[in-house]
Structure formats: structure tokens, C-alpha cells
């Protein structure tokens, strides 16, 4: 392997010494002296879908009182392709109250998150998730994460077969270690006499970094396939799935002020048939396992492996590992990366209703009993639910005879209120108070900022037009801000970098327009730009295209240009 002579990152040693992700997690869970776990186990629990956090709103106050931070854990449950059954929804709803902070978070990768789980409840929560035929292993960590799949298209046999591919990739790339069952599900305990565990795909040190896969059905690009390490773009001819274009090397995460880090869009590698998909996925993962940079986690994502070696090198590697080359890619066109809201009918006569969920947070508030409403829906719903990659929820496959009942429940709870197109397109990551890496607010702030943008749009007579605004509390890019028409990326409390120029189909990176600005300045810039768009924009011209045509930002050819301000 080409990693052998590198000075390894500390995490590599932790993985190596962990006995396939066991570490001392089991013992730590029994340690009642502290609400936290050891730093090494903190790294390892990520592979089990668990992040140690503390309430950042209370950090200073607790330090003043000489108390340890108020530790709790975030647990992420994988939901491949975002499909979940009503019984599972009811169980998730119950778990949120029983074990966590009462809210459910739908993530930008079609998974569920619970926040505020205390150490003593971790095991019961993971066990409860598994009882519902979901799991948390590989929801985080240096492995392939929850596999995404287009949620949008009206249900058809094509969607079913594409979804089956996403599920198969997910199963194929799930770590095999028995540690998960031992620690969380009281599975048979490993003893030193046992034959060693093994990981046929990953090996003992797993991947150099997280790895993300998405499957998409054009023309929708709701999963933002080009932001992924590995993508499968379904090619459909005469209502038949003929195969997939394979894309590699996308990713969003960057570090402020470090020009060696940048977002990248994935490039197309070739075309594979449905029966080649698992071999492609496995071998791409193995290329990254063997050639990813284990000496520098900031340079360890597959996007850098692809960028450093070039796409032809990746092609050669894949061909030599598979024994056959991929075919030439097929032409593809994406039209949109948002969701389709409201009622839409499926080919079989059943219905889907897509609900806008503010930043994916499902909870009850004084003005919107959202969690109650969805519980009431789940109690009568005979289809399923789909979590979208835009943090929204589809009540899917509603039999025609149940449509009025579901509508009545939604109406009764105030969920049919209209939202502006801009709000429906918006996304914010979690950020404060739970995210340890947040530099600024996102989820708790974006809704208010959108209200101000709505006022600007109304003032300029363009209230009905949608602008895709995505906000993150730091440059890690969890709400994929670098492909938004307007990206706001946290720099410090109350201050953001403003990026402009993404395309509303997820196929173009944006570029830095203004750095480290506060709310007044954000509003001032958007006021001027939206005013120009209303006056000088061509009919149907997206805002992202307009700002480029006007020269406010440039078309970015390579991710390295994203942070270069176009003066
Ligand atoms: Fe993320 C780390 C939340 C999607 C890039 N992300 C984190 C952590 C776990 C913070 C940490 O490491 O301590 C955040 C937990 C916050 C909390 O309190 O819940 C976090 N990421 C999220 C979620 C929940 C955002 C959301 O609002 O939905 C998303 C969970 C997805 C899931 O279900 O698996 C989430 N994260 C993403 C995405 C979007 C995507 O994958 O489509 C990205 C950008 C794409 C990419 O990976 O390049 C993303 N998250 C990161 C990074 C930067 C990775 C990098 O390459 O540099 C980090 C930090 C890291 O890994 O070191 C990070
Ligand atoms: Fe946290 Fe940054 Fe991700 Fe937001 S983008 S959830 S602040 S890591």
C-alpha cells in the first residue's frame, strides 16, 4: 500500500489499535464518574454513529462554576435512500422523547439524528434503533456513510429498482466488525481466543477519511450527486434502467484560510451496468483505502486523491482492479436539486405529499405542533415516509382513498400553510448549540434571515421567485453551501462569508463575494443584488446565473477558485 511510509495521523493509530472499533467503549459506558468518554473512544464511537458533544450555550457558565461541560451525545441512524415505514417513524418519535431532547433531526443525507442523549442512555437508544430494523453503524466515521437516493420522482418501477441498487451498495459497504453487536446489542463477546474479526473491504484501519455515496435519477439532482465521493447517475432508456454513469471526487469541506483545502465537484468516470455497480463501489473504496492520504486528515478525502492523481489515473486503477474498463458515459441533464412540494400523483394512482420542514428539525413549538402532526399522520398512514436530502419529508404512497384524511390532519395542525419558494429552497446545518465545530449560528438563525430576504424580494416585486440560500456554521459544508446560489458560511459569531453563483441544479460551485460580514452587510448586499436581478435579469434567469452574467463572481473552473474573491 502506498501509505506505508507516511507519518500517520493519530486517528490511524487509534483505529489500528482498536481491535476493529472496540477500543474501551464497553468499559467507558459503565464508568459513571463522568458524562464523557475517553478521547480515543470518542473517535471510535463515531464509527458506531455516535458523537460526543456538549451544550455550547452553557459552556462558559459551567466553566465558571467549575463544572465539567454538560456532555451529551448525538446519535445518527442510517436510513438508506431515506425510506422509512410509519411504524419506524412512530418509534423514532417515541425515542426522541424517551432518550433524547425531544426533537428529531432529518439530515442533509436522508438520515435521522437524535441530540442530547446522555451517556447512560446511549446503549438503550442504539438498541431501540436496531429493534426498528435501522442501525447506526457507519452513520459516521472513516467508512462509507448512509447511501443517498433520489426521493423526488413520482414512484415508478424505475425508482424501485434504483432504490434497490442504493440499498445493495449500502449493505455491501457496511463494516463487518462484530464490535457493534457486542457493545450495543449484547451480542456474543469477543475473547482473545476468538479468531480475529476481519473487514474484507476496509481492512483494520478502515478508510483515511469519511466516504459518501449517492444514487440519483435525472433530471432531478435532489441528492447533489456531484458533492459526493462516489455517485451513480441512473441512465434510463425506454422506461428501463440500463446502468449508471459513475462520478467520483466531489466534496464540500474546507478550512478557512487554508488554500490547500477546497470544495470540488465530482467528475464522470464512465458508465457501468447495474450488475457492475457493487464491484465499482467496492473497488473505488479500495482505491481510496490504498491511496488516500493518511498523514493529513485535511487532505484525506477521496476528492484530493482524485484531484492529485487525475481522473485518468482513477480510471486505470479501476480497470486494473475490475479487469474490465467502464464504458463511455451517457449524456445526462439535471434540471433541479430542490424538492417538489405539495401533492403529486404516482403512476399507480397513489399520492405523495412533500412537506417543507424548517432545516429538518421535527419538534413541537407553540405555533407549530409539527411532531404531533407527523405522529398523527404515521398512526394512519399506509404508505411510507421519505427523508429528502434537502431536509424535508415526503409522505409517500398515500392510497387515493386516504388522501383526504392525510390532508385533513395536515390542515388541522397548520402544515398546509404556504412558504415562499426561497424558504422552501433554503437549508441550514445544525451548528450551535450542539456542533462542536460551529463558529456561527445556522439552523437557529437562517429562518429569520430568510424572513428578511422575503421582505427584500417583496420590495423588488419578485416575491414569487426562488433563490437557493444555504447556510453553515463553519466551512465544513454540511448543508452543501458551496453549490448554492447564495452560500453563507460562518466565520465567527454573527459573521459569515458570502458566496454567490451556484446553479439550482447542483452542477456549479459558487465563489466568494464578500468576506466576514455581519447581518446588516449581508442584507445590504442582497438588497442591491436582488434589486438588479428584478430589473436586469432575463425572464426565468436563475439568480446564480445572473450574478455571473453581471460579473459579480466568475464561473469557477476548479474548486481552488471558490475562495478567491472576484475584485
Ligand atoms: Fe457534516 C462534521 C452535521 C452532512 C461535511 N457534520 C459534522 C459534525 C458531526 C461535527 C463534528 O464532527 O463534530 C456535525 C454534527 C452537528 C450536530 O450537532 O448534529 C455534522 N453533517 C451534519 C448534518 C447533520 C448537517 C445537517 O444539518 O443535516 C449532516 C448529516 C449527514 C448524515 O446524515 O450523514 C451533515 N457534512 C454533511 C455534508 C453534506 C453531504 O454529505 O451531502 C457535508 C459536505 C459534503 C462532504 O462531506 O464533503 C459534511 N461534516 C462535514 C465535515 C467536513 C468534511 C471534509 O471533507 O472536510 C465535517 C468535519 C470533519 O469531518 O472533520 C463534518
Ligand atoms: Fe457543524 Fe460546520 Fe457541519 Fe455546520 S457545517 S454542522 S457548523 S461541522
pLDDT in tens, 473-515: 999 999 999 999 999 999 999 999 999 999 999 999 999 999 9
Asked whether residue 159 is assigned to any structural domain, the reply reads yes
Separation of 153 CA from ligand 2 center, angstroms?
A: 29
- Give the confidence band of 1 by pLDDT, cuts at 50, 70, 90: very low
Domain end residue (candidates: 337, 371, 406): 337
CATH number of the domain that 521 lies in? 3.30.413.10
Q: Which three cell numbers stand for residue 112?
A: 435521522
> Which positions ≥6 away from 4 have C-beta within 8 Å?
none
- Give the confidence band of 187 by pLDDT, cuts at 50, 70, 90: confident
Q: Examine the residue annotation and report whether 145 is marked as an active-site residue of this protein.
A: yes
Query: 327 and 358 share a domain?
Result: no
Asked whether residue 115 is assigned to any structural domain, the reply reads no
**Average pLDDT value over all residues in the chain:** 95
CATH number of the domain that 354 lies in? 3.90.480.10
Q: Which residue from 13, 41, 20 is spatially nearest to 180, judged by alpha carbons?
A: 20
Query: 529 and 401 share a domain?
Result: no
Q: Active-site residue among 429, 470, 480, 491?
A: 429
Supply the residue whose CA is at minimum distance from atom 2 of ligand 2: 474
Asked whether residue 98 is assigned to any structural domain, the reply reads no
Separation of 476 CA from ligand 2 center, angstroms?
A: 6
- Give the confidence band of 241 by pLDDT, cuts at 50, 70, 90: very high
Q: Active-site residue among 84, 474, 503, 508?
A: 474
Separation of 490 CA from ligand 2 center, angstroms?
A: 9
Q: For residues 187 and 290, which has the higher predicted lDDT (pLDDT)?
A: 290
Q: Examine the residue annotation and report whether 363 is marked as an active-site residue of this protein.
A: no
Separation of 130 CA from ligand 1 center, angstroms?
A: 23
Query: 411 and 472 share a domain?
Result: no
Q: How buried is residue 270: exposed, middle or buried, by Cβ count under 10 Å (0-12/13-18/19+)? A: buried
Domain end residue (candidates: 337, 359, 389): 337
Mutate to test the pocket of ligand 1, among 74, 108, 438, 441 (most ligand atoms within 8 A of CB): 108
Identify which ligand lies nearest to the alpha carbon of 107: 1
pLDDT for 83-115, tens place per residue?
999 999 999 999 999 999 999 999 999 999 999
Query: 352 and 486 share a domain?
Result: no
Residue 36: its pLDDT value, please? 94
Q: H helices within 83-200, ranges in order?
A: 86-99, 122-131, 157-173, 179-185
Report the percent of the chain where pLDDT is more than 90: 91
Distance between CA 183 and CA 190 in Å, rounded?
Answer: 10
DSSP 323-362: SSPPBPPPP----B-S---EEEE-TTS-EEEEE--GGGEE
Query: 392 and 534 share a domain?
Result: no
Q: Examine the residue annotation and report whether 140 is marked as an active-site residue of this protein.
A: no
Q: Is the CB of 107 under 6 A from ligand 2?
A: no
Query: 326 and 408 share a domain?
Result: no
Distance between CA 285 and CA 273 in Å, rounded?
Answer: 18
Query: 434 and 412 share a domain?
Result: no
Q: Does 195 have pLDDT greater than 80?
A: no
Residue 132: its pLDDT value, please? 93
Supply the residue whose CA is at minimum distance from atom 21 of ligand 1: 478
Q: Does 461 have pLDDT greater than 60?
A: yes
Query: 328 and 202 share a domain?
Result: yes
Query: 550 and 450 share a domain?
Result: yes
Q: Which residue from 439, 459, 437, 441 is spatially nearest to 449, judged by alpha carbons?
A: 441
Asked whether residue 502 is assigned to any structural domain, the reply reads yes
Distance between CA 238 and CA 349 in Å, rounded?
Answer: 21
Q: Does 40 have pLDDT greater than 80?
A: yes
Q: Is the CB of 243 under 6 A from ligand 1?
A: no
> Which positions ≥6 away from 292 have C-beta within 8 Å?
3, 207, 208, 209, 300, 301, 302, 304, 305
Identify which ligand lies nearest to the alpha carbon of 357: 1
Query: 412 and 476 share a domain?
Result: no
Asked whether residue 8 is assigned to any structural domain, the reply reads no
> Which positions ≥6 away from 328 have C-beta within 8 Å?
270, 271
Identify which ligand lies nearest to the alpha carbon of 208: 1
Q: Examine the residue annotation and report whether 272 is marked as an active-site residue of this protein.
A: no
Least confident of 49-63, 152-166, 237-251: 152-166
Residues 41-67 have a mean pLDDT of 93
Residue 543: its pLDDT value, please? 98
Q: What residues form DSSP beta bridges with 40?
A: none
Query: 292 and 190 share a domain?
Result: yes
Residue 4: its pLDDT value, please? 54
Q: Does 194 have pLDDT greater than 70?
A: no
Looking at the structure of the chain, the number of domains it has is: 3
Domain end residue (candidates: 385, 419, 453): 419
Q: Is the CB of 21 under 6 A from ligand 1?
A: no
Residues 148-155 have a mean pLDDT of 86
Supply the residue whose CA is at minimum distance from atom 3 of ligand 2: 478
- Measured over the CA atoms of residue 468, residue 472, residue 475 and residue 480, the dihedral's sign is negative
Residue 239's domain comprises 141-337
Query: 290 and 407 share a domain?
Result: no
Asked whether residue 274 is assigned to any structural domain, the reply reads yes
Q: Examine the residue annotation and report whether 84 is marked as an active-site residue of this protein.
A: no
pLDDT for 300-348, tens place per residue?
999 999 999 999 999 999 999 999 999 999 999 999 999 999 999 998 9
Q: Examine the residue annotation and report whether 474 is marked as an active-site residue of this protein.
A: yes
Asked whether residue 55 is assigned to any structural domain, the reply reads no
Residue 95: its pLDDT value, please? 97
Report the atom number in ligand 1 closest to the C-alpha of 477: 44
Q: Examine the residue annotation and report whether 429 is marked as an active-site residue of this protein.
A: yes
Q: Examine the residue annotation and report whether 237 is marked as an active-site residue of this protein.
A: no
Asked whether residue 467 is assigned to any structural domain, the reply reads yes
Mutate to test the pocket of ligand 1, among 11, 215, 476 (most ligand atoms within 8 A of CB): 476
Identify which ligand lies nearest to the alpha carbon of 388: 1
Q: Is the CB of 74 under 6 A from ligand 2?
A: no
Range from 153-162, 188-197, 512-521 that averages highest in pLDDT: 512-521
User: Torsions phi, psi of 428, nearest 5?
Assistant: -135, 145
Separation of 347 CA from ligand 2 center, angstroms?
A: 39
Amino acid at each position: 500500500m502506498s501509505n506505508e511510509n507516511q507519518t500517520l495521523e493519530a486517528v490511524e493509530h487509534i483505529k489500528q489499535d482498536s481491535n476493529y472499533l472496540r477500543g474501551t467503549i464497553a468499559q467507558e459506558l459503565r464508568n459513571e464518574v463522568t458524562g464523557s468518554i475517553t478521547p480515543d473512544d470518542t473517535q471510535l464511537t463515531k464509527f458506531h454513529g455516535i458523537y460526543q458533544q456538549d451544550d455550547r450555550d452553557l459552556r462558559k457558565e459551567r466553566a465558571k462554576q467549575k463544572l465539567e461541560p454538560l456532555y451529551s451525545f448525538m446519535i445518527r441512524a442510517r436510513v438508506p435512500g431515506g425510506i422509512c415505514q410509519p411504524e419506524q417513524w412512530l418509534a423514532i418519535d417515541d425515542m426522541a422523547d424517551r432518550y433524547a431532547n425531544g426533537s428529531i433531526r432529518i439530515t442533509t443525507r436522508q438520515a435521522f439524528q437524535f441530540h442530547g442523549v446522555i451517556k447512560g442512555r446511549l446503549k438503550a437508544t442504539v438498541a431501540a434503533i436496531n429493534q426498528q430494523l435501522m442501525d447506526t453503524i457507519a452513520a459516521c466515521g472513516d467508512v462509507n456513510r448512509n447511501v443517498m437516493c433520489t426521493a423526488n420522482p413520482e414512484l415508478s418501477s424505475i425508482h424501485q429498482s434504483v432504490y434497490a441498487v442504493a440499498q445493495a451498495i449500502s449493505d455491501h459497504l457496511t463494516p463487518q466488525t462484530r464490535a457493534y453487536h457486542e457493545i450495543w446489542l449484547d451480542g456474543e463477546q469477543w475473547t482473545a481466543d476468538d479468531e480475529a474479526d476481519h473487514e474484507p473491504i476496509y481492512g483494520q484501519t478502515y478508510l483515511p477519511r469519511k466516504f459518501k455515496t449517492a444514487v440519483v435519477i435525472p433530471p432531478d439532482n435532489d441528492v447533489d450527486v456531484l458533492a459526493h465521493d462516489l455517485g451513480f447517475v441512473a441512465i434510463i432508456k425506454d422506461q428501463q434502467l440500463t446502468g449508471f454513469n459513475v462520478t467520483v471526487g466531489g466534496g464540500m469541506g474546507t478550512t478557512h484560510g487554508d488554500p490547500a483545502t477546497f470544495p470540488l465537484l465530482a467528475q464522470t468516470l464512465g458508465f457501468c451496468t447495474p450488475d457492475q455497480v457493487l464491484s465499482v463501489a467496492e473497488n473505488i473504496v479500495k482505491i481510496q483505502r490504498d491511496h488516500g492520504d493518511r498523514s493529513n486528515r485535511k487532505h484525506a478525502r477521496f476528492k484530493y486523491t482524485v484531484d492529485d492523481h487525475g481522473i485518468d489515473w482513477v480510471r486505470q486503477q479501476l480497470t486494473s482492479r475490475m479487469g474490465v474498463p467502464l464504458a463511455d458515459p451517457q449524456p445526462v441533464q439535471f434540471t433541479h436539486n430542490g424538492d417538489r412540494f405539495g401533492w403529486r400523483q404516482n403512476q399507480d394512482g397513489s399520492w405523495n405529499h412533500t412537506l417543507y420542514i424548517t432545516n429538518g428539525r421535527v419538534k413541537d413549538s407553540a405555533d407549530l405542533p409539527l411532531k404531533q402532526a407527523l405522529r398523527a399522520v404515521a398512526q394512519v398512514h399506509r404508505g411510507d415516509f421519505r427523508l429528502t436530502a434537502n431536509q424535508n419529508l415526503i409522505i409517500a404512497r398515500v392510497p387515493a382513498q386516504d388522501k383526504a384524511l392525510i390532508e385533513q390532519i395536515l390542515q388541522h395542525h397548520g402544515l398546509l400553510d404556504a412558504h415562499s419558494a426561497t424558504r422552501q429552497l433554503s437549508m441550514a446545518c445544525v451548528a450551535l448549540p450542539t456542533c462542536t465545530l460551529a463558529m456561527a449560528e445556522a439552523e437557529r438563525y437562517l429562518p429569520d434571515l430568510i424572513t428578511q430576504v422575503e421582505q427584500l424580494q417583496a420590495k423588488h416585486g419578485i416575491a414569487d421567485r426562488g433563490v437557493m440560500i444555504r447556510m453553515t456554521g463553519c466551512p465544513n459544508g454540511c448543508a452543501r453551501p458551496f453549490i448554492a446560489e447564495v452560500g453563507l458560511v460562518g466565520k465567527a459569531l454573527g459573521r459569515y462569508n458570502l458566496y454567490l453563483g451556484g446553479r439550482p441544479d447542483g452542477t456549479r460551485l459558487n465563489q466568494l463575494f464578500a468576506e466576514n460580514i455581519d447581518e446588516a452587510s449581508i442584507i445590504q448586499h442582497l438588497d442591491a443584488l436582488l434589486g438588479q436581478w428584478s430589473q436586469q435579469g432575463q425572464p426565468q434567469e436563475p439568480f446564480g446565473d445572473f450574478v455571473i452574467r453581471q460579473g459579480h463572481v466568475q464561473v469557477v473552473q476548479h474548486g481552488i477558485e471558490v475562495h478567491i474573491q472576484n475584485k
